[in-house]
Amino acid sequence: MLLAEAYGSGGCFWDNGHLYREDQPSPAPGLRCLNWLAAQGSRESLAEPSPGDHNYCRNPDRDPRGPWCYISSETGVPEKRPCEDVRCPGYVLAVTMMVIIIAIGVGIILGYTYKRGKDLKEQHEQKVCEREMQRITLPLSAFTNPTCEIVDEKTIIVHSNQTPADVQEGSTLLTGQAGTPGA
């Protein structure tokens, strides 16, 4: 249905007009289309399928010239006659395609921008977490070193006149370090 609307609406058609569904009852000025069922009933050999009980231009056999209908010939025998060429102008298709391409491009850019912003936010949060872990870890390591004295959460004093304690397995001393943790 949607395809039929796209290919045969607005009084014009694309391709060969096989989906053309406008109510055009005349192939040319002064001529009238015959009813499809009546015209095909009076013909002996029918190669085309019947598009229905009406007298509008159609293209049931996908004729490359576009929609057509039967008219009454001088002898009274139904004759196939092409209808007026009402092909849709090419620029309509071009404009439609440009709009679709632009919409896809905008969607890609917005998706990339969203993803990039989300990734940058995650990286920032990871760095903040790492800095906080370093700030907490450094003062805690001072508890294992008797040459260090914790004054407050930002200050550690290293006493150089004391002998450092033996290093226990899995711990490290803060010898030679003083000042603000994380600096």
- 8 and 68 both lie in a single domain: yes
pLDDT computed for residue 181 by the predictor: 56
- 110 and 128 both lie in a single domain: yes
Single out the residue in 73, 88, 103 at which a domain terminates: 88
Q: How confident is the model at residue 6 (pLDDT cuts 50, 70, 90)?
A: very low
- 84 and 95 both lie in a single domain: no
Does residue 164 form part of some domain? no
- 67 and 130 both lie in a single domain: no
Does the structure show a pLDDT above 80 at 147?
no
How many CA atoms, within 13 angstroms, populate the side-chain half-sphere of residue 77? 5
Does residue 179 form part of some domain? no
pTM, to two decimals? 0.43
- Residue-wise pLDDT for 22-63, tens only, equals 888 878 888 889 998 888 776 554 555 667 788 888 988 888
- Residue-wise pLDDT for 105-134, tens only, equals 999 999 999 999 999 999 999 999 888 887
Q: How confident is the model at residue 5 (pLDDT cuts 50, 70, 90)?
A: very low
In DSSP terms, which residues pair with 13 in a beta bridge?
A: 87
- 47 and 99 both lie in a single domain: no
Which one has a higher pLDDT value, 48 or 92?
A: 92
Phi, psi of 68 (to 5 degrees): -150, 175
- 50 and 66 both lie in a single domain: yes
CA dihedral 10, 60, 67, 69 (to 10 degrees): -120
* Number of compact structural domains in the chain: 2
pLDDT computed for residue 142 by the predictor: 55
Q: Which of 75, 38, 41, 36 is nearest to 57 (CA)?
A: 36
d(CA 129, CA 134): 9
Task: State which residues form the domain around 105.
Answer: 90-158
